[in-house]
């Protein structure tokens, strides 16, 4: 596993040297500031809007960071041929996959924590405070970033960078915002295709389990610990499955 | 004597869409401890394919490749192998020092030993001054030197060098030859490929000549060279004649 950590550090180093993360950083901080100012000047429901929009922005931007960083890892190693000297070293293909996942998870989590830090400072400046459910929401989003990183790394063993980014972002949007609507719709029509789609929907991880944003906005009390534990186990199981599939595919691949 | 590298009846093919290219049609060869083995053949002969199978990048359709008596690409073997790719690029955002540190750590070399080793391999390949220069700013020749540096960072017992001379100027070739000879003097086993049979290949103890995925001949270099008087100029001709005869 030490080898995986070395690969993860390489992912982090690469991301720091590239500019896109800084662009996303500035972009999201700018958006959050606009939201913060807008809700400062309006009178009612202000903090709620600020929390809701900020959470939305942070969620999207950090998922995009995970997808963009994760999807390019394997394709870039192959295209630039850096994979050849690397894989001649005592490094298992599984360690390569795990390392790439770990690096992607760390980068996206780090960005997320920085954004959250800024968000919490702005929250304090509005006289609001950090609630228990917010802490739970932060934890679950980190899990979600790790899960999405594993999906992206797994897919990178199967498809090109561009296809991977498209599929992953679509999956995130569908899973989050209209997944429920689709599954309700499928329940109503009983065709074979609907059955297949429902099965797929059933097998794939449900990202909405990781979303506490509504509860955070409406100031709910923290959810029970068993819920958090169950969702954590759920994430760990899926992450393991995706990393396993990615490793098996990558092992079979000729470089 | 037990061979260090043993390739038996290796078959390999590439599939691009529906098209199938047979790259290796059953080659066998052996390399013994402490020798320099030159794997010589024209472009497209199957040299890189053979080396890629040795390192586990590609899987043969038949036959097998063994190093130190076990599967050539086993993790255990990789601790003992140094590999220089034919064309490789190294992470452009790192420096020679950083990339050698990364590779060295994969070999689990202890930090103080590794730092000394990095200085010594950089000196060997003449890159000491570029230790902290971003790799993206290195010239092609310097990249090739860095390639050699990473190939010897683990003080390997076996070196597998894919066209180590390509892209080097005459001085670079001379230096490469000296480095390879020096490694041989340290008891290393060296397996390298080349598409030419010129002065540099004179350091080989034995050569295996490959063309179109078949080994034409494996013999001691002096047996080839012995057949003529003026060495350097005619070597290339012999090589070409040998391939032409077989193809005809
Ligand atoms: N990635 C590839 N896809 C399809 N064919 C390939 C590929 N790589 C090599 N080949 C073919 O396999 C044969 C052997 O190539 P290679 O081992 O690279 O030769 P060499 O290293 O001796 O120049 C050639 O006919 C070449 O065209
Ligand atoms: Mg080649």
- Residue B19 DSSP SS3: strand
Q: What is the ipTM of this complex?
A: 0.91
Q: Which DSSP helix (H) or strand (E) runs through B246?
A: helix B231-247
CB under 8 Å to B168, separation ≥6 — which residues?
A: B141, B144, B176
Considering only alpha carbons, which residue of chain B is nearest residue A77?
B91
- The answer to whether the beta carbons of residues B179 and B169 sit under 8 Å apart is no
Between CA A252 and CA A21 the distance in angstroms is: 32
Q: pLDDT tens digit string along A107-135?
A: 999 999 999 998 888 888 777 778 889 99
For the Cβ of B194 lying below 6 angstroms from any atom of ligand 1, the answer is no
Please report how many Cα atoms fall inside a 13 Å half-sphere around the Cα of residue A19, on the Cβ side.
1
In this prediction, the residues of chain B whose per-residue pLDDT falls under 70 are: 198-201, 224-238
Torsions phi, psi for A174 (to 5 deg)? -60, -50
Q: How far is CA B141 from CA B121, B164, B175, B178, in A?
A: 16, 11, 12, 16
pLDDT at B44: 92
Q: What is the pLDDT of residues A184-218, one digit of tens each?
A: 776 777 677 777 777 777 788 888 889 888 888 88
Chain A CB contacts of B150 below 8 Å: 85
Q: Record the tokens describing residue A148, joined without a space.
A: 């999405």
Report residue A20's pLDDT band, with 50, 70 and 90 as the boundaries: confident
The pLDDT confidence band at residue A93, using thresholds 50, 70 and 90, is: very high
Which ligand is closest in space to the CA of residue B87? Answer: 2
Section A227-252 average pLDDT: 97
Q: How far is A236 from chain B (nearest CA, A)?
A: 27
Cα(B205)–Cα(B221) distance, integer angstroms: 6
CA distances from B165 to A124, B82, B120 (A): 64, 16, 22
Can you give the three-state secondary structure of A144-157, one letter per residue?
HHHHHHHHHHHHHC
pLDDT of residue A124: 83
Query: Would you call A53 helix, strand, or coil by DSSP?
Result: helix
pLDDT at residue B200, rounded to an integer: 57
Q: B60: nearest CA in chain A?
A: A254
**Distance (Å, whole) CA B148 – CA A18:** 27
pLDDT more than 70, % of chain A = 93
- Three-state SS at B162: strand
- pLDDT at residue A50 in the model: 78
**CA-to-CA dists, residue A80 to A105, A251, B136, B163, angstroms:** 23, 19, 12, 18
Q: Which of A3-17, A154-168, B201-215 has the lowest mean pLDDT?
A: B201-215
Tally the C-alpha atoms within 13 A of residue A162's C-alpha that lie toward its C-beta: 0
Whether A42 shows a pLDDT value over 70: the answer reads no
> In Å, what is the CA distance from B175 to each residue of A81, B164, B172?
25, 11, 5
Tokens at A59, concatenated: 């969620």
Model confidence over B38-56: pLDDT tens digits? 999 889 999 999 999 999 9
Q: What is the pLDDT of residue B235?
A: 60
Reported as a pLDDT band with limits 50, 70 and 90, residue A103 is: very high
* Contact residues for A3 (Cβ-Cβ < 8 A; gap 6+): A90, A91, A92, A95, A99, B106
Name the residue at shortest CA distance from atom 3 of ligand 1.
B14
User: Can you point out the beta strands (E) in A88-215?
Assistant: none
d(CA A91, CA A95): 6
Please give the pLDDT value at position A214.
84
Q: Hey, are the CB atoms on A81 and B87 less than 8 Å from each other? A: yes
pLDDT tops 90 at residue A139: yes
**The token pair that represents A164 in the structure block:** 């991977």
- Give the burial class of A243: count Cβ atoms within 10 A of its Cβ; 0-12 exposed, 13-18 middle, 19 or more buried: buried
**Residue bearing the CA closest to ligand 1, atom 2:** B14
**pLDDT classification of A5: cutoffs 50, 70, 90:** very high
- Domain B1-72+193-248: give its CATH architecture: 3-Layer(aba) Sandwich (3.40)
B45 in contact with ligand 1, CB cutoff 6 A:
yes
Q: Is B42's C-beta closer than 6 angstroms to any atom of ligand 1?
A: no
The predicted structure's pLDDT at residue B224: 66
Which chain B residues have a beta carbon less than 8 Å from that of A103?
none
Q: Counting beta carbons within 10 angstroms of the beta carbon of residue A241, is it exposed (0 to 12), middle (13 to 18) or buried (19 or more)?
A: middle
Backbone angles phi, psi at A12, to 5 degrees: -65, -45
DSSP state of A91: -
Which two structure tokens, joined as six digits, stand for A7?
């690969």
Tallying the residues shown for chain B, one arrives at 248
Q: How confident is the model at residue A174 (pLDDT cuts 50, 70, 90)?
A: confident
Taking the Cβ of residue B48 and every Cβ of chain A, the question of whether any pair is shorter than 8 Å is answered with no
Give yes or no for a contact between B134 and B93, defined as CB atoms under 8 angstroms apart.
yes
Q: Is B61 on the interface with A (CB under 8 A)?
A: no
Which residues in chain A (91-120) have CB-CB distances under 8 A to chain B? 91-92
Q: Which of B49, B9, B60, B30 lies closest to B158, judged by CA?
A: B30
Sequence ranges of the domains in chain B = 1-72+193-248
């Amino acid at each position: 596993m030490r080898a995986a950590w070395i690969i993860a550090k390489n992912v982090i180093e690469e991301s720091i040297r590239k500019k896109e993360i800084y662009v996303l950083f500035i972009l999201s901080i700018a958006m959050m500031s606009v939201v913060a100012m807008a809700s400062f000047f309006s009178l009612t429901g202000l903090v709620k809007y600020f929390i809701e929009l900020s959470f939305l922005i942070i969620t999207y931007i950090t998922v995009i960071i995970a997808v963009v960083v994760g999807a390019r890892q394997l394709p870039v190693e192959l295209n630039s041929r850096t994979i050849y000297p690397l894989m001649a070293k005592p490094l298992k293909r599984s360690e390569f996959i795990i390392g790439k996942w770990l690096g992607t998870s760390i980068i996206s989590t780090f960005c997320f924590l920085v954004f959250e830090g800024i968000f919490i400072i702005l929250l304090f400046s509005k006289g609001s405070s950090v609630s228990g459910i917010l802490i739970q929401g932060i934890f679950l989003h980190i899990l979600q970033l790790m899960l999405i990183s594993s999906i992206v790394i797994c897919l990178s063993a199967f498809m090109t960078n561009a296809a991977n980014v498209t599929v992953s972002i679509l999956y995130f949007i569908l899973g989050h915002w209209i997944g429920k609507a689709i599954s309700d719709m499928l329940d109503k029509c009983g065709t074979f295709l609907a059955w297949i789609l429902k099965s797929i929907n059933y097998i794939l991880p449900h990202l909405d389990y990781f979303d506490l944003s509504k509860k955070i906005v409406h100031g709910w009390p923290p959810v029970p610990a068993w819920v958090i534990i169950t969702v954590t186990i759920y994430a760990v199981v899926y992450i393991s499955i995706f990393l396993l599939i990615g490793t098996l595919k990558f092992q079979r691949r000729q470089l | 004597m037990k061979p260090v590298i043993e390739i038996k009846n290796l078959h390999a093919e590439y599939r691009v869409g529906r098209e199938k290219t047979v790259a290796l049609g059953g080659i066998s060869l052996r390399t013994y401890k402490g020798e320099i083995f030159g794997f010589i053949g024209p472009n497209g002969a199957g040299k890189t394919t053979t080396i890629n199978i040795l390192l586990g990048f590609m899987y043969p359709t038949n036959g097998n490749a063994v190093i130190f008596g076990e599967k050539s690409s086993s993790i255990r073997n990789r601790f003992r192998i140094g590999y220089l790719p034919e064309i490789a690029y190294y992470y452009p955002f790192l420096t020679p020092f950083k990339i050698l540190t990364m590779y060295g750590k994969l070999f689990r070399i202890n930090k103080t030993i590794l730092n000394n080793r990095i200085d010594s391999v950089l000196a060997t390949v003449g890159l000491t001054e570029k230790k902290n220069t971003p790799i993206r700013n290195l010239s092609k020749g310097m990249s090739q030197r860095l390639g050699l540096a990473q190939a010897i960072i683990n003080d390997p017992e076996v070196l597998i060098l894919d066209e180590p001379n390509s892209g080097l100027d005459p001085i670079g070739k001379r230096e490469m030859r000296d480095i390879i000879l020096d490694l041989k003097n340290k008891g290393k086993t060296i397996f390298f490929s080349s598409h030419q049979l010129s002065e540099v290949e004179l350091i080989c103890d034995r050569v295996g000549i490959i063309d179109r995925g078949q080994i034409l001949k494996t013999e001691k270099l002096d047996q080839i060279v012995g057949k003529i008087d003026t060495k350097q100029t005619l070597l290339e001709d012999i090589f070409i004649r040998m391939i032409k005869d077989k193809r005809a």
